[in-house]
Amino acid sequence: MNATHYAAEFSPLEIPAEGRVWLRELLNSQPVPIANALAERHRRTYDAARDKGQSNPMRPANVGLREFVEASEGVLSADASDNEIRAFAARRSHECDHSMRRVNGDEMATYAAGHGVVTRFGLVPPKPNHNRTLLGCIERMRDERWWRNQLHKIHGRKHEQQARSIGLVHKRAGLYISEYGFQRYIGRQNSNARALIDTIAVCETGEEFSLAEIADKGVSNPSIRRKEMMARIAGIERYAESQGDVALFASITTPPELHAVHSKSLEPGDGQHVTPREGQKWLMVQWRKIRAKLNRASINAYGLRVAEPHHDGTPHWHALLFVDPTRVESLRRILTDYFVDGSTSPARQKRACDLKAIDPQRGSATGYIAKYISKGIDGHGLDYAATLDSDGQQIGLEADPKDAAQRVRAWASQWGIRQFQFMGTPAIGPWRELRRIRSQIAGNPKAEALRKAADEGDYARYMELMGGAALKSSERPARVCYTTEAERGRYGEAKQRAYLDAFGVTYTTRPVRWKIEYRPAGDRRNRNTTDQCDQNITGSEANGHPTEPVTGNIELYFVNELPGSKLAQRRSREHLDSWK
């Protein structure tokens, strides 16, 4: 339904002239897809009330529309553009700075002043922790970029949830994420890509590369990310085989009351006002309970879990777990008990946690999880049949796997949901740092064996040398550590530099310094080829010899968006209280 001409469909007896203005203004206050859905819902409510013989059938339709629009109101309108968000962030950061400067007190009083401004506009103030100082929190609250990022996040999630609540997110409308939210994500990705091209990293040796070139050589590249994950899971499977452990595949769903839309009828569900983040939180809380129970029962389960959306954006998990064959039934019972969570519904007891043993004769464990890894990254190697929903029904959109994977990434980005989580296996940080060292490590055979395993992509050997599965990070022989530099960062906090600690010896893996220059015209000085980026590291110190950790980590300030134009004048809205 076209919201632009919706009010004109009613006769003067149904809606008076001033009422048409009110209805048109309310619909125009929303983005076009949401406005069209609201107009359709307004018509359905009106028709239902009229068919029941109500004396004023327009009233319930108007009340529902007004309540939705009022709920969408905030510091920014639902259809606020990036330029408007940027301008609003600039004003609020100046206001916060002015408020804090007026306080003639210590840092705590200054923080309190900024805290009041931030909370007044619906944002969550930064809190000091082991990585963030009180001064750093103060500087963030007076920083325009911090405000802009927070506003983008809060604004996007609020209005995406409203789109879910009126049925704009499901397999017949917007798969995983609304079309409006998806186009907003695409726009920001394009803006980020342009910014990366125009931002240059300059090495102290004179070499320079665009951030786009650097990102394309690392795990920011979806293809490289997928390959690294597949190498890890294949290595974990080989390690499990050497230990005699068996593989299990679990499909885990959230309770029905957390789903926004029924999968078959597409009618609103009990969870239409529950966000995907809340659904993910429920899964994570149950998983923490399970991990604690497994630890008490001395059950060592390790592997990978993948979070992906149902067609309506509600998260569910797929997990590949390896465990001792004698503990399979205990693991099955614990998983089922916690994810069923006391429900007496037979359907819930069946669907909460479907755990299957993987038969090696029918396929490898890596093959089972490969589809879900690809679905969440780039859709590589999948055909259209792989876009079936959880009930085995074809999705309503003509989306190929690559498009569907992009929508999954948009969903995860919008709601801040971590897609992949390895469990009980060595951290990937030491693996990546070891791969930066291009020559043999002298004088430390154990560290050299670890470096060789990482360099050759042998994750099974790497996992074995790192102590196997389910070992605490503090007990593993290699870890990434950080040293504090004298130089201060954007928010006045000391910068940190990563280095590798392997078998009690520290190794410098990032010996050179970089600085960032923004060159919109793409001007380059002393242009080099990108072959150097393939080596992960430059400088003669990265030769595998033990050194003291050096300062000067690579400074990569990824720009979120390009500078925009001035704020456009917002239209005024009339509120006809007598007609509402």
Dihedral (CA of 555, 556, 560, 561) sign: positive
Distance CA 349, CA 336 (A): 8
Q: What is the DSSP string of 433-455?
A: HHHH--SPPTT-HHHHHHHHHHH
Q: What is the DSSP string of 253-280?
A: ---GGG-SB-TTT--B-TTTTS-HHHHH
Sheet order of strands, 478-488 included: 478-488, 494-502, 505-507
CA distance readout (Å), 20 to 10, 14, 23, 46, 54? 9, 10, 5, 15, 21
Distance CA 38, CA 73 (A): 15
Residues linked to residue 408 through DSSP beta bridges, in sequence order: none
Distance CA 398, CA 359 (A): 34
Place of tokens 């010896």: 505
Compute the half-sphere exposure of residue 217: CA atoms within 13 Å on the CB side of its CA: 17
Per-residue buried b or exposed e for 306-327, using 16+ beta carbons within 10 Å of the residue's own CB: bbbbbbbbbbbbbbbbbbbeeb
Q: How many CB atoms lie within 10 A of CB 364?
A: 16
The encoded tokens of residue 303 equal: 């592997």
Which residues are CB-contacts of 195 (< 8 A; sequence separation ≥ 6)?
Answer: 211, 558, 559, 560, 561, 562
3-state secondary structure 84-151: HHHHHHHHHHHHHHHHHHCCCCCHHHHHHHHHHHHHHCCCCCCCCECCECHHHHHHHHCCHHHHHHHH
Distance CA 226, CA 232 (A): 10
Check if the beta carbon of residue 573 is closer than 8 Å to that of residue 25.
yes
Which residues are CB-contacts of 398 (< 8 A; sequence separation ≥ 6)?
Answer: none
Q: Which residues are catalytic?
A: 368, 372
